[in-house]
Chains A and B, each alone.
Chain A
Amino acid sequence: MAEKGSLSRVYDWFDRQLPVTELMENHATKYPTPKNLTYWWNFGSLAAIFLVIQILTGILLAVQYKNDPTLAFDSVQRIVRDVEWGWLIQPMHAIGASFFFLVMFIHLGRGMVYGSYKSPRALLWLIGCALFMVLVIAGFTGYLLPWGQMSYWAAQVITEVFSAVPVVGQTLVEWVRGSFVVSDATLSRMFTYHIVLVPILFIMLTVVHISALHKVGSSNPTGVEIDKKEKDKFATFHPLTTAKDAWFGLLVLMVFFAFVFFAPHYFTPVAQFIEANPLQTPPEIVPEWYFLSMFAILRSIPEKLLGVVALFGSVGILFFLPLLDRSPVKRAFSRPIFRWGLLLFFLDFIYLGYLGTKPPLGANLVAGQIATLYYFLFFLSLPLVTWLEAKMAAKKGAKDE
């Protein structure tokens, strides 16, 4: 027997006391992946790539950023102008947020099209929804930090929605802001949530999400579960999926860096380049593109409390998807009614985003209300849709015989 090298002896020392090999084989190299996955299955690992980008750039920014209303705006300019490579790190973090949301939307959409929220992946879906909620909190808290006009007024508008809660509304608003208006206290707490709470929750939930995924196995585009014993239908995660994730990830990074280097202000509204001024409301307060659909839902309901319920409900209802849709058919394309309902839902979501940029007046208000109605109707009609589809299938089955 050949003498073992010192490096492999060090490895053995760790492996004896920590499940290094076991973890690596179970969760990376040897994890069985269905061979028929399409590129829609790449967005989970892409989300992980953007999580890493956000954490690394975020740490570097937090070192130089000052969470004080009199210094915050200046410190961001200082980062961009004076800090070594700050001009690269700051837009990477800002553009990274947009890409993170885009990737997350596609990942969620993929889950809906291919029934990834159904048994045995209901818990996996729920953890994913929790991750999405943390991302929403990350987006909201992070947007306040540059302390631009849009930061300030968006925070003012969104924290104001809590006042719709009966009896404790105003107290709740003050509790969230830490003051009567968005101020130093608000900035301090949002900064703390953004750099402590958000990353801890995100990393923890990601680990749980991946553990759950690897317990139940990946879904696949046919919508039919593959028996674990059919070994020829699986490939090990490495090298097939790692190679696929690598090249596709690099392709997306090319697009990402095109924004970072050539259009770093693309997603930034011009009012963000004016320091927050509590005495001057900007002509229009529009949230970032990824919040536009939720914003449209909030504004299309004239009754304040109902609007807030709808706002939180629009994200919350995602958690109930496994409960509402009990159809055994996973793949949307195989379902005669659901396929069109889901397509319309995606178009509806994008249309709501468009309406979010328009003032809620006249025809736009009515359109927003119809779009909001459909948003919820899509989810709530799922038991009925499932029942109808089952009847259709039974009828067709009888005819075939």
Chain B
Amino acid sequence: MAVLGATLVLFAGLVGVAAASEELPPLPDVSIPTDAETIELGERIVMARCKTCHSLQYLRDEETLQPLLSGITPDTAKKQFGVVPPDLSLIAIARPGGAAHTYAFLTGYENDLGDCEKAANRFISGGCTAMVDPRLSDEDALAITAFLKEAADPNEKIRVQIGIWVEIFLGILTVMAYLVYRRIKKRELG
């Protein structure tokens, strides 16, 4: 059993090594709020500001149930900014570091443009971005991050809630099955 455990630890380590690799500055150590109020604030900011250029295609409008599209068409955006602004529904899990990267990006703008045409950001590879500094307060950036995290993984809450009960159930079942096995082992092997 000890060797088995060691194998599993080794395996987890190997996967951990595989997950970590990127040459950007270390992401800020930030805890993303999960309370409904902050997420709602984030949603309001995203709908009022971000959605002008960014779509959130996997989220739906509460009334029409249509996917949330950006205020400007991708073609217009391409003409205006040179690129189509990325969809935001999965952005909080689609970058190395996850939601911490979203927050870092929103607050990582440099005043000195350097060689960049539109804006300089420490947390993007190459250092340049077509998105101009949204000049957000820390609270607003955090609220946006909280909302986008929820948008990217909307099932997290229910998953954890159900998961705990599944683990408790399996735990009891495993212990019971083990006790059964011990009795059978005693009977069969003496």
Since A270-B96, A283-B125 are in contact, a sample of 11 more A-B pairs with Cβ atoms closer than 8 Å, ordered by chain A residue number, is A39-B1, A88-B162, A239-B188, A240-B188, A247-B181, A250-B173, A261-B160, A261-B162, A269-B19, A354-B14, A357-B17
Contact of B14 among A81, A283, A353 (CB under 8 A): A353
A354: which of B4, B17, B174 is its contact (CB, 8 Å)?
B17
Known: A243-B184, A247-B180. Is A35-B18 also a contact (CB below 8 A)? no
Closest A residue, CB atoms, query B159: A261
Q: Which residues of B contact A74 (CB under 8 A)?
A: 58
Q: Does A48 sit within 8 A of B, measured CB to CB?
A: no
Name the segment of B38-46, B47-55, B87-95, B139-147 touching the other chain: B87-95
Knowing A35-B189, A244-B181, A284-B21, say if A257 contacts B163 (CB, 8 Å): yes
Residues of A that sit less than 8 Å from B by CB: 35, 39-40, 74, 77, 80-81, 87-88, 102, 106, 235, 239-240, 243-244, 246-247, 250-251, 253-255, 257-258, 260-262, 264-267, 269-271, 273-274, 283-284, 286, 289, 292, 350, 353-354, 356-357
Asked if B166 is at the interface of the complex by the 8 Å CB criterion, the answer is yes
Cβ of B36 under 8 Å from chain A? no
Q: For chain A, what secondary structure do more than half of its interface residues adopt (helix, strand, loop), or is it mixed?
A: helix
Chain A contacts for B14, CB-based, 8 A: 289, 292, 350, 353-354
Contact for A106 among B7, B155, B171, B181, CB less than 8 A: B7
B98 adjacent to chain A (CB < 8 Å): yes
Q: How far is the CB of B45 from chain A (nearest CB, A)?
A: 22
B167 at interface (Cβ–Cβ under 8 A)? yes
Q: Are B177 and A257 in contact (CB under 8 A)?
A: no
Contacts A/B (CB < 8 Å), 21 sampled: A77-B90, A80-B155, A88-B162, A102-B11, A240-B185, A243-B177, A243-B184, A246-B177, A247-B178, A247-B180, A250-B174, A254-B170, A254-B174, A260-B163, A261-B162, A262-B159, A262-B163, A264-B159, A271-B94, A292-B18, A357-B21
Q: Is B154 an interface residue (CB 8 A)?
A: yes
Query: Across the interface, which residues of A come within 8 angstroms of B113, CB to CB?
Result: none
Give the total of B residues in contact with A, Cβ under 8 Å. Answer: 45
Where the two chains meet, the residues of B that have a C-beta atom closer than 8 Å to any C-beta of A are: 1, 4, 7-8, 10-11, 14-15, 17-19, 21, 58, 89-90, 93-96, 98, 125, 152-155, 158-160, 162-164, 166-167, 170-171, 173-174, 177-178, 180-181, 184-185, 188-189
Contact A270 B7 (CB under 8 A): no
Residue of A nearest to B20 (CB): A357
Out of A258, A283, A289, name the residue touching B18 (CB < 8 Å): A289
- Are the C-beta atoms of B177 and A247 separated by less than 8 Å? yes
Known contacts A77-B58, A261-B166; A251 and B174 CB within 8 A of each other? yes
**B171 nearest CB neighbor, chain A only:** A254
On chain A, the residues within 8 Å of B181 by CB distance are: 243-244, 246-247
